[in-house]
Chains A and B, each alone.
Chain A
Amino acid sequence: MSVQLEVQLIAVVVAVACALPGVFLVLRGMAMMSDAISHTVLLGIVLAFFLVGDLDSPLLIVGAALMGVLTVTLVELLNQTQLVKQDAAIGLVFPALFSVAVILISRFARGVHLDVDAVLLGELAFAPFDRVQFWGLDVPIALAVMGGILVLNGLFIGLFYKELKLATFDPALAAALGFSPVLLHYGLMTLVSVTAVGAFDAVGSVLVVALMITPPATAYLLTNRLSHMLGLSAVIGAGSALAGYWLARLLDANIAGSMATMTGAIFLVTFLLAPERGIVAILRRRQRQRWEFAQAALTIHLLHHEDSPQADEECRVDHLGEHLRWQRPFADEVVRLARRHGLVTQDNGRLYLTDKGRQTVQDAIVR
């Protein structure tokens, strides 16, 4: 396999592995927790490195995962004191742990391949040069690690899909039925930590957040089903990875940065143009509702006054402005629409309700 293909494959695997747990982070309103975890795992890596003295040891991932869980625990403990709110608790815990890691690296680990730039940004282009023999196959370490993490994430979410769904939607019922929401919560956070560490080398800790949060946030605008949201997030993540890779080649820029940019671009387009929840769709719906409401108001007005002595006066087109406080052009447009929809007929400037118009009034009042 060529280096280019390998880089793209790693990018796709990283993106999908991040997107899957990201779906639950987004639905639980915990997006910023991923930001915290992706930074504090660095301390876990550093401490584990001091302990084993080997940068390639799998124990580094264990240390990172423990630190991720510790981060979540500390944030929740702080939050429970009710002296700090959750966002502030995240803002307190993660810089504290991260800065300790930065100091430790700069003081004791200089010269080791653990520099802060690589941690923040990562460099996907170099990933294929660190290789490992795996079942007789010669593969990049990043691909083997992230492939393993992808399988782990897929297994966890596949096995505990219904439990995660219930604990996310209705934690109280989950607890009452005996599915410990706390256990699931920490399981998920462990997964997020492990994923963050794995994705670290490839894309760096800042962009892990983009890959975890943006594809699920995009998918959320496009579907009404959790299973589809998982699938779509994976597809959007993979698409952003490939598009980002080619954008980076085109611009001769950092691949991870381009990938994150693509997730943002896809989100922006979806945010604007999503069929039901996009901004454009919402504005058009509001506009339509405004005209529909005005027509309903017109029919109700006509019904109220059609039998009154002043009916001929009240129901004249040129008096609508006076009675309903509508500007003349607006009133004319409403009358035009109402006539086109067969709700009213006009005779010599006097408006009459049709049967369909009466039905509209009924519907509007009942609603």
Chain B
Amino acid sequence: MIEGISIHHILTVTTIMFFIGAYGFLTRKNLITMLMSIELVLNAVNINFVAFNKYLYPENMQGHFFSMFIIGIAAAEAAVAIAIIINIYRNIHSIDVEDIEQMKY
């Protein structure tokens, strides 16, 4: 419980962060930028977890555990994603998402 800041403020910030991330994911063409957008989405969710834990059930710790868990997974995911991006670059000399269309009909 932080004085002067209600849960609504925090949720407003995280909602804005989430949609900035989603918008970035849908519009950016560079794979790295898309990855960064995904990080934004994940962090918005992290903040939500912590906020709900803090404001609604301060006696429990599950929200914190989930955040830690997501941060760990996100680090692993970023490593894998960057490895994939590097391999794509080696193969087609581009990291533009529109150039990666081998999987179409």
Q: Do A and B bind each other?
A: no
> Which residues does B use to contact A, with CB under 8 Å?
none
